[in-house]
């Protein structure tokens, strides 16, 4: 009992990788003797991040189709064949009890082959608009764990389980003290604090917005924790001051959330799930440069529930100051947004996903 073997496949972005790692960690907690193998795309960030988390990974020669005719597109059929063949070898050698796909191109060949060999497969779709790989796999898998309602637009209704997206354990607990958190960043207590999140790499347009509005924030009486990302730290570090803390990366996100009163963020699936648990007023500025514009769709799903404010990049110059001022001055709006976004939180997502995996392998354990 517990000597299970699990393959987890997904990657390309942190939004696909970190959920897979969280699921693996929960499976390992329940089944300490289990064996794990991750399968990703060669030369993508999972080849670095997964070993850092303590797991073995193998890479497939696979990538997505480009929107215009390129040499990479001409190579695509060969990459698919190569990846299907290598996936077949991995399944035969490793003999998994279950395969979990979290999106990204590498999960396509792996789940296609595994399901064809009768291995129970689970998909985890993070976004409100399903990714292309998961849509292609919908008829091959046994269960599809989702984070939003109305996902039967993309998947068979009888396979869908609404679990939410895995988030970090320290955020589910959210025990950080606000004053302690402000002290950690060297900021004052009793002063409204804005947290700006552009992701680990950073968001160019959000950084430009904040830099252009520093005088506005000062006049408004707001202090900032500004995660500009590692690509932009050299450009924006000069704005560090007593009231503006510029960081490339945050090691203590629990402190960042605890210190903040209001948040400006991209709308990737992982960020949205975290912010629902955090329960603070949020202005989402979705990236328009992602597949199928899924960040805008994620943000709109919350805005439609009066749980967040959606501001498109194209609207920032014309609308940002008014939108922020209205929110800053309206305590009732802040309270309403915070309460409504909290209602959408699904803090037990990782456990619920693993419950579904255990049902498939026929041994739901007591937890």
Binding-site residues for UDP-N-acetyl-alpha-D-glucosamine sit at: 13-15, 127, 168, 200, 295
Q: Are 113 and 107 in contact (CB under 8 A)?
A: no
Cα–Cα dist 196/282, whole Å: 10
Write b or e for each residue in 109-129: b if 16 or more Cβ atoms lie within 10 A of its Cβ, otherwise e.
bbbbbbbeeebbbbbbbbbbb
Structure tokens at 341: 């976004």
> Helix H segments across 156-278?
169-173, 178-184, 204-212, 214-220, 233-236, 253-259, 269-278
Cα–Cα dist 242/237, whole Å: 13
Cα–Cα dist 255/186, whole Å: 12
E strands within the chain? 5-9, 35-41, 57-60, 98-101, 121-125, 143-146, 160-162, 193-197, 223-227, 244-247, 262-265, 282-284, 309-310
The single residue listed with the structure tokens 């000069």 is 238
Residues making up the annotated binding site are 13-15, 127, 168, 200, 295
Structure tokens at 332: 């009732």
Q: Map residue 112 onto helix, strand or coil.
A: helix
Across the chain, which distance is largest between two alpha carbons, in Å?
64
């Amino acid at each position: 009992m517990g000597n299970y073997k699990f393959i987890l496949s997904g990657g390309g972005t942190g939004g696909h990788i970190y959920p897979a790692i969280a699921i693996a960690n929960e499976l390992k907690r329940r089944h300490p003797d289990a064996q794990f193998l991750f399968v990703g795309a060669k030369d993508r960030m999972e080849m670095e991040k997964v070993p850092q988390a303590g797991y073995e990974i193998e890479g497939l020669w696979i990538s997505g189709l480009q929107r215009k005719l390129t040499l990479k597109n001409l190579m695509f059929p060969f990459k698919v064949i190569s990846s299907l063949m290598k996936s077949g070898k991995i399944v035969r050698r490793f003999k998994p009890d279950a395969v979990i796909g979290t999106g990204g191109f590498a999960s396509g060949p792996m789940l296609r082959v595994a399901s064809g060999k009768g291995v129970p497969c689970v998909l985890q779709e993070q976004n409100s608009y399903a990714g292309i790989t998961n849509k292609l796999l919908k008829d091959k898998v046994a269960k599809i764990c989702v984070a939003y309602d109305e996902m039967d637009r993309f998947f068979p209704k009888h396979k869908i389980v609404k679990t939410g997206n895995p988030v970090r354990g320290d955020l589910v607990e959210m025990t950080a003290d606000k004053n302690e958190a402000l002290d950690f960043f060297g900021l004052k207590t009793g002063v409204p604090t804005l947290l700006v999140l552009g992701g680990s790499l950073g968001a160019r347009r959000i950084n430009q917005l904040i830099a252009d509005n520093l005088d506005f924030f000062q006049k408004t009486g707001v202090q900032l924790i500004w995660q500009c990302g590692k690509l932009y730290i050299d450009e924006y570090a000069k704005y560090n001051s007593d009231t503006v803390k510029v960081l490339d990366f945050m090691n203590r996100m629990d402190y960042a959330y605890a210190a903040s009163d209001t948040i400006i963020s991209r709308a990737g699936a992982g960020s949205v799930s975290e912010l629902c648990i955090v329960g603070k007023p949020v202005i989402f500025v979705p990236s328009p440069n992602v597949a199928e514009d899924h960040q805008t769709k994620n943000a709109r799903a919350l805005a439609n529930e009066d749980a967040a404010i959606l501001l498109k990049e194209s609207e920032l110059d014309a609308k940002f100051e008014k939108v922020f001022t209205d929110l800053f001055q309206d305590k009732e709006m802040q309270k309403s947004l915070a309460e409504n976004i909290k209602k959408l939180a699904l803090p037990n997502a990782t456990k619920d996903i693993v419950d579904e995996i255990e049902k498939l392998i026929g041994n739901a354990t007591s937890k």
